Amino acid sequence: MKKLQFILLLFLCLTSIANYGQCAMCKAVVENGDSSFAKGLNDGIVTLMIIPYILVAIVAFIIFRYYKKNK
């Protein structure tokens, strides 16, 4: 099991690449100072980040419940 975890961690570390994915138009509008667009962009980013945190919390809860049940 530890070998599988190590391989998975190694795979994730080696495949992570720095991405600069913002499009030129979005970056230009945000730098231009349009605060309503910047606020909307920030709200969209926060909304997109909620799902991974929820999934991690669910997996952590399932693992916690599994280990507590087997103790």
- Provide the pLDDT for residue 57: 95
Distance CA 67, CA 71 (A): 6
Q: Which residues contact 30 (CB under 8 A, 6 or more apart)?
A: 37, 38, 41
Q: What is the pTM of this model?
A: 0.47
Six-digit token string for 61: 């809860």
Instruction: Encode pLDDT of 38-55 as tens digits.
Output: 788 778 888 888 988 999
- Provide the pLDDT for residue 17: 63
Q: What are the residue ranges in the chain where pLDDT is below 70?
A: 16-27, 29, 34
CA distances from 44 to 12, 25, 50, 71 (A): 26, 16, 10, 42
Kindly state the DSSP code that residue 33 receives in the 8-state scheme.
T
- Provide the pLDDT for residue 32: 78
